[in-house]
Amino acid sequence: MNLEQILTPQVIAAVKELYGVDATDQQIQWQKTRAEFEGDITLVVFPFVKLARKAPQAVAQEIGDKLMADGTGLVAKCNAVQGFLNLCIDQSYYINQLKAIAADEHYGHFPYPNAKCKNGKCKNDQMLMMVEYSSPNTNKPLHLGHVRNNLLGYSIAKIQEANGWKVVKTNIVNDRGIHICKSMLAWLKFGNGETPESSGKKGDHLIGDYYVRFDKEYKAQIAGLMAEGMDEETAKKEAPLIKEAQEMLRRWEANDPEVRSLWAKMNEWVYAGFDETYKQMGVSFDKIYYESNTYLEGKAEVEKGLAAGQFYRREDGSVWADLSKDGLDEKLLLRADGTSVYMTQDIGTAKLRFQDYPIDKMVYVVGNEQEYHFKVLSILLDRLGFPFGKELVHFSYGMVELPNGKMKSREGTVVDADDLMAKMIEDAKEISKDKVNTLQGITEEETNEIARKVGLGALKYFILKVDPRKNMLFNPEESIDFNGNTGPFIQYTYARIRSVLRKAVSASTLSGEAGLSLDPKELALIRRLMDYPSVVRQAGEEFSPAVVCNYAYALACDFNSFYHDCSILNEPDENKRALRLLISQTTARTIADAMSLLGIEVPERM
């Protein structure tokens, strides 16, 4: 129970006794005390001025006097400033709060989501949220854009779990379509039987190379046709390579055994590569769906909608949805040759997911360039009679850009996720070399492990600290800095605390309880620790890992300020030393928990 929850019934009782009025919780308004006034929390008394028929200053003073005299000892002092009552809370309250936080193994985590009853479920039933993220194509490796997607999706899932949801982390692999056929066709024409084993390349990298090769050869064919007098748009349609790729897609959907066999072999190469990348990134999934399995479900639903008059067929045989009544345009659902589009697949995937799980909330972590897509998906699912259609959540996030511009996978100018992570780890190893070398008895294996945690922590924190709805500029050099608002700074603070605690345990000083006055830096740190549950709740409501990042940084800053001003191990007073060790221990645990919600590991030594 926080301070506002404790004080609110006391204020209601005081108002009743003073003015004979039954105040409500909604009338009790709390604010943080302004810096220029003494106090921990401020009550707005204007709602009671008319009822009391007195001046605001007088009402504030009377309520303050009543709170100080109620016998609990919670309010030590107060000062009235017009219609505001600033309350100074007795320091024993904060010390007791610290002890309670330290004793709570699940501090900052909630047993049930803060949601109303739905589908027959109420607060005592754990509700299920499915979070979809990653959604890679099997024609190329994961790149920097995928890194932001995966880190956001995984962190959102962790944060929602902390808020009491049962979370199913899911991935839809786009393993079919024209883009896949482009890689397959290029490998057939130019690969000479190359495999991951023969080339020494990860499977996803190998296939990605052939996707780039297709684009190069395709552009050459377009240029050749244009040189013969054909306009560009016609050349793009008539180039032999694109026609062959389209024919391969048609054969795939017709279950041609030769095409299907090649497709299965090349996809297995890619999946093995993806698994390595996900493992290094530290993300995982509870259920993976494949477009090759879901698109037929979608086609069947589209055909039902067509028969029911929900959709219409054009003269060329293609199937469309008219969304003009919804303020949108027309949407293609099936091509003229009968092949499906992404929308078809997403309809089928949604249907299967709600068959597989009792989902209360479905969240799609997909970039903001797909906002229109998900508006349409929600409308179409609702039209098709699925009750969950209107309640799908598109978590729309901004794009990642680089100092030298945007990435283009077809041209091979992407920042590869594997290369990026390897570079971050190597940079962390180089930058932290001097720090790590000062640690006694550290092995090369431990050094490499610290570099891995710091490098990946720097990458994850830099990406997650930005408001997810904004575009961001990724700067690797800035992210790895050990100073400022970075992952390594917070990790280093944690390692510093763990070092203090190890020395304390060896000196048998981690004992006793404190019941004494608090230094301002101690008080600030305890208050920050008390904020953690509301931070977790806010991050869950806003679907924003950035809220957790900002808190972790502020907590680390508060500790370093405390560490600078307050002696810990050398404090001669046993009670003060025990109190400061308890503050340190609780801060370390809270930092570790907050960072875990971001998918970031914290090293014990740095």
Which residue would you say has higher pLDDT here, 111 or 180? 180
pLDDT digits (tens, 9 = 90+) for 283-303: 999 999 999 999 999 999 999
Contacts of residue 435, Cβ cutoff 8 Å, sequence gap at least 6: 482, 606
Say what the pTM is: 0.90
Which H or E run contains 240?
helix 240-253
Per-residue confidence (pLDDT) for residue 72, from 0 to 100: 84
| Ranges of CATH 3.40.50.620 domains, the chain | 129-174+286-415
Q: Is the pLDDT of residue 120 over 60?
A: no
Predicted pLDDT at 391: 86
Q: Which fold does the domain 3-89 belong to in CATH?
A: Gyrase A; domain 2 (3.30.1360)
Q: Is the pLDDT of residue 511 over 50?
A: no
Q: Which of 490, 483, 436 is nearest to 460 (CA)?
A: 490
Task: Please report the pLDDT score of residue 116 as a whole number.
Answer: 52
pLDDT score at 121:
54
User: Does position 122 have pLDDT exceeding 70, yes or no?
Assistant: no
- Compute φ and ψ for 264, nearest 5 degrees: -65, -40
pLDDT at 270 exceeding the cut of 50 = yes
Instruction: Give CB contacts under 8 A, 24+ apart, made by 563-567.
Output: 563/496, 565/519, 565/521, 566/519, 566/521, 566/522
The pLDDT-based confidence of 407 (bands split at 50, 70, 90) is very low
Mean local confidence (pLDDT), 440-444 = 80
The CATH number for 417-597, chosen from 1.10.730.10, 3.40.50.300, 3.40.50.880, 1.10.287.990, is 1.10.730.10
pLDDT exceeds cutoff 50 at 281? yes
Contact between 602 and 591 (Cβ < 8 Å): yes
Q: For 292-335, how does the pLDDT look when each residue is reduced to its tens digit (9 = 90+)?
A: 999 999 999 999 999 999 999 999 999 999 999 999 999 999 99
- Residue 436 has what pLDDT? 56
Decide: helix, strand or coil at residue 24: coil
In this structure, which topology does domain 129-174+286-415 adopt according to CATH? Answer: Rossmann fold (3.40.50)
Percentage of the residues of the chain whose pLDDT score is greater than 90: 80
Residues of the chain with CATH 1.10.730.10: 417-597
Task: Return all residues near 166 (Cβ < 8 A) that are at least 6 apart.
Answer: 126, 127, 128, 129
**How is 396-442 classified by DSSP, letter by letter?**
EEPPEEBTTB---TTTT---BHHHHHHHHHHHHHHHTHHHHHTSTT-
Taking 50 as the threshold, does the pLDDT of residue 411 lie above it?
A: no
Strand order in the sheet with 75-81: 29-31, 41-44, 84-89, 75-81
Provide the pLDDT for residue 413.
54
Distance separating alpha carbons of residues 206 and 372, to the nearest angstrom: 33
pLDDT at 512 over 90: no
Residue 364: strand pairing partners: 132, 394
Q: Is the pLDDT of residue 408 over 80?
A: no
pLDDT of 412 > 70? The answer is: no
pLDDT band at 434 (very low <50, low <70, confident <90, very high): low
Residues near 248 by Cβ (< 8 Å), separated by ≥ 6?
A: 181, 184, 185, 259
Question: What pLDDT is attached to residue 124?
Answer: 54
The mean pLDDT of 152-170, rounded to a whole number, is: 97
Render pLDDT for 9-54 as a digit per residue (tens, 0 to 9): 999 999 999 999 899 999 999 999 998 999 999 999 999 998 888 9
pLDDT(340) > 60: yes
pLDDT number for residue 467: 93
**Higher per-residue pLDDT: 340 or 251:** 251
Where do the CATH 3.30.1360.70 domains begin and end in the chain? 3-89
Task: For residue range 216-235, list pLDDT tens digits in order.
Answer: 999 999 999 999 999 999 99
Q: Is the pLDDT of residue 410 over 80?
A: no
Q: Mean per-residue pLDDT for 271-282?
A: 98
